[in-house]
Amino acid sequence: MARPAPRDLGRDGDARGPAAARRGGQSHLPSGGGARGVRGHPHAHPRGGGRTVVAQEADPPRVEALKRLLPGPQAYRSYISKWIVNVNRSCIDCGICAEVCPFGVHERKEGFLHLSLPKSQRCIGEACETQPFYCVKHCPVDAISIERNPLADLLGNPRWTNDLIMSTWVMSETGRPPERGLEYRVGRAGGGFDSLDFDFPSPGRSFDPPSLEDISTAIPLNRRGHGAQIEIPIPWYGGGMSFGSVSVQVMLARAIAAKAWNTFTSTGEGGYPDELVPYADHIITQVATGMFGVREETVQRARVVEIKYAQGAKPGLGGHLLGDKNTPVVAKMRETVAGTSLFSPFPFHSVYSVEDHRKHVDWIRAMNPRALVSAKVSTPTDVDMVAVGCYHAGVNIVHLDGGYGGTGAAPDISKKNIAMPIEFAIPKVHKFLEKEGIRDEVVLMASGGIRSAWDAAKAIALGADGVILGTAELISVGCVLCGNCESGRGCPWGITTTDPELSELIAPEWGAQRISNTYRAWQLQIREILARFDLDSIRDLRGRTDLLVRDPSSNGGLTPGGAPKW
């Protein structure tokens, strides 16, 4: 099935006809309107075992253009809406519904006698029942009914709710958060970031767009007095997803978006595909316990090298890649036998103390003196001591990976059951580093459960410098959170798979545009949060726990209809 052609997208991602002709803007999506398969792309060519990718020259103007607000067409022909607006055959096309609805659900196009089909994705559902513009009550023949979409109700879980998933899709299409009807700030997990809220002053500073642009969201990745001084313009980068766990097309999409925003994305532990080389300045090379795909040349080309000691979703266990996903191309990259399941050991067998950790860091720097070194650790009860040990071992970045990580390959018994929740680990480490007098010499990054810009802001207010994204980026390119990442051929949507045919379902530049749009929407929300506190920089938010309130009954500052309380 071909991906739909680019369309003019409204504020909530609704299709309103061809974009190029009406807007006159140049499309930076693959030719053919971002087709779902890339076989027909003029620059597509097979590599290694039938793998088809789009040739990427990392052309600076083309990549920079991705930062501009351009539509990222949705993955599905029919928009998955939260509500379904039904109009039965008794409709007399009087047009009253189109006159009273302020959201454009009902519309009569000029020159047409009959009303258009309702745009259900614009409907706010139950929140409209008490409003004077409720179309159901205004219909003179009772032809309109509104019901929940059962397909939408099947999406997600209490942590990654259907609202969060669908709102991420809207952001990846439009570059803006949804205006109404979708809860895009928090989930319904009953704890974690969902039970934290910002204690905004009233009234806050007005959201004047020019002033928002003056608010800095940049963070440094090196706080030590030596080594490369790298700064990224947004307080996040992409987490490790290895070749084998995701397709090379998805890796390319993440790399292109990272280059466009001058941030980073990580290879994970599965090696460094040649297709990523043009984006080397924005690729973090990960060295994990299995040492799969780790080569001297890949370490030497990286500006940041991450040593993965543990993963929050499965602490005490190494990486997993089941046999069905270990295709010949993956096996060649990892120097293993195709079709065999790969299990990385939990510890580095050369690292059993802080002194060994120091030698490990020195080994990386011996190969690449210019690289910053990050240590990825899970969140045990003594995570504060682990972080101090990382500092004394010489790392620049301490990456805390909490227990809510979204990997599809971890055993069910370990997911979300072992590691400390990230919202507890961050302030514990932050305060201990302050007590030791070294907080301003190390960068603290957090991952494992960052679903929204509001989660990112809360993590920073708890004490992190920035956050690392994983599942949020995959949802931007169409993930439905079905949990089939590790089974059989992998993801049926072509995301977490290395199957030669399924991988072709993702066009790298289409994915990059959607990830870039999500970044843009998140940056806007971060700036709005900072503006409400009269803060000029994201760095001023770090450790401001006084700006947070813990309220188990909190709905993230929202009313049930999705409208802000303020």
Tokens standing for 260?
């466009």
Q: What is the pLDDT of residue 28?
A: 36
Amino acid identity of residue 317, one-letter, is L
* Cβ–Cβ < 8 Å for 25, 57: no
Q: What is the pLDDT of residue 384?
A: 95
Q: What is the pLDDT of residue 76?
A: 60
Question: Does a structural domain hold residue 303?
Answer: yes
192 CA to centre of own chain: 18
Tokens standing for 271?
């090696």
CA atoms within 13 A on the CB side of 440: 3
CATH number at residue 477: 3.20.20.70
Q: Which residues contact 379 (CB under 8 A, 6 or more apart)?
A: 312, 315, 400, 401, 402, 403, 419, 420, 421, 422, 424, 425, 448
DSSP state letters, 149-210? -HHHHTS--SSS-HHHHHHHHHHHHHSS--SSSS--S--SSSSGGGGEEE---SS-----HH
* Cβ–Cβ < 8 Å for 433, 388: yes
In which element (H, E) is residue 321 found? strand 320-321
What residues pair up with 85 in beta bridges, in sequence order? 146
Per-residue exposure over 10-26, b if at least 16 CB sit within 10 Å of its own CB, e if not: bebbbbeeebeeeeeee
Query: Dihedral angle at the C-alpha atoms of 406, 407, 408, 413, nearest 10 degrees?
Result: -90
The boundaries of the domain holding residue 27 are 7-67
Task: Tell me the three state secondary structure of residue 391.
Answer: helix
Residue 296 burial class via C-beta count within 10 angstroms: exposed 0-12, middle 13-18, buried 19 and up: exposed
Q: How far apart are CA 175 and CA 482, in angstroms?
A: 25
Q: How far apart are CA 399 and CA 466, in angstroms?
A: 10
Question: Does a structural domain hold residue 528?
Answer: yes
What residues pair up with 373 in beta bridges, in sequence order? 305
Q: What is the pLDDT of residue 65?
A: 61
Q: What is the pLDDT of residue 376?
A: 94
Q: How far apart are CA 500 and CA 488, in angstroms?
A: 13
What residues pair up with 232 in beta bridges, in sequence order? 219
Q: What is the pLDDT of residue 10?
A: 37
* Cβ–Cβ < 8 Å for 54, 508: yes
| Beta pairing class for 51-54 and 44-47 | antiparallel
Same domain, 253 and 363: yes
Amino acid identity of residue 459, one-letter, is A
Amino acid identity of residue 262, one-letter, is N
Question: Does a structural domain hold residue 40?
Answer: yes
Same domain, 278 and 234: yes
Q: What is the pLDDT of residue 55?
A: 38
CATH number at residue 99: 3.30.70.20
Same domain, 25 and 87: no
Q: What is the pLDDT of residue 321?
A: 78
Alpha-carbon separation of residue 287 from 182, 240, 252, 306, 373 (angstroms): 39, 10, 19, 6, 10
In this structure, is the dihedral angle defined by the CA atoms of residues 209, 210, 211 and 216, taken in order, positive or negative?
A: positive
Count of domains forming the chain: 3
Q: What is the pLDDT of residue 223?
A: 96
Amino acid identity of residue 153, one-letter, is D
Question: Does a structural domain hold residue 534?
Answer: yes
In which element (H, E) is residue 393 found? none
Same domain, 238 and 334: yes
Question: Does a structural domain hold residue 187?
Answer: no
Q: What is the pLDDT of residue 202?
A: 73
Question: What stretches of 338-395 show up as alpha helix (H) in DSSP?
Answer: 354-367, 383-392
Domain closes at, from 67, 98, 113: 67
Same domain, 27 and 106: no
In this structure, is the dihedral angle defined by the CA atoms of residues 533, 536, 541 and 546, taken in order, positive or negative?
A: negative
Same domain, 545 and 499: yes
Same domain, 46 and 140: no
Q: What is the pLDDT of residue 117?
A: 93
Same domain, 25 and 126: no
Same domain, 477 and 524: yes
Question: Does a structural domain hold residue 261?
Answer: yes
Per-residue pLDDT of the chain (566 residues; tens, 9 = 90+): 444 333 333 334 343 322 333 223 333 333 333 333 332 333 343 333 444 444 345 556 656 666 666 666 666 656 688 899 999 999 999 999 999 999 999 999 988 999 999 999 889 998 899 999 999 999 999 999 999 999 888 888 999 999 999 999 999 999 999 887 889 999 998 888 999 999 998 764 555 545 788 999 999 999 998 999 999 999 999 999 988 889 999 999 999 999 999 999 999 888 899 999 999 999 999 998 777 878 889 999 999 999 998 876 667 676 777 777 888 888 888 888 888 887 777 777 778 787 888 998 999 999 999 999 999 998 988 999 999 999 999 999 999 998 887 666 666 666 666 778 899 999 999 999 999 999 999 999 999 889 999 999 999 999 999 999 999 999 999 999 888 887 767 788 899 888 888 889 999 999 999 999 999 999 999 999 999 999 999 999 999 999 999 875 654 444 444 433 32
* Cβ–Cβ < 8 Å for 255, 276: yes
Question: What stretches of 199-301 show up as alpha helix (H) in DSSP?
Answer: 209-213, 248-260, 296-300
Question: Does a structural domain hold residue 22?
Answer: yes
Amino acid identity of residue 410, one-letter, is A
Question: Is the pTM value of this prediction over 0.85?
Answer: no
Q: What is the pLDDT of residue 546?
A: 96
* Cβ–Cβ < 8 Å for 419, 378: yes
Same domain, 426 and 305: yes
Question: Does a structural domain hold residue 181?
Answer: no
* Cβ–Cβ < 8 Å for 481, 165: yes
* Cβ–Cβ < 8 Å for 236, 467: yes
Same domain, 231 and 298: yes
Same domain, 385 and 312: yes
Instruction: Find where tokens 């047009």 sit.
Output: 95
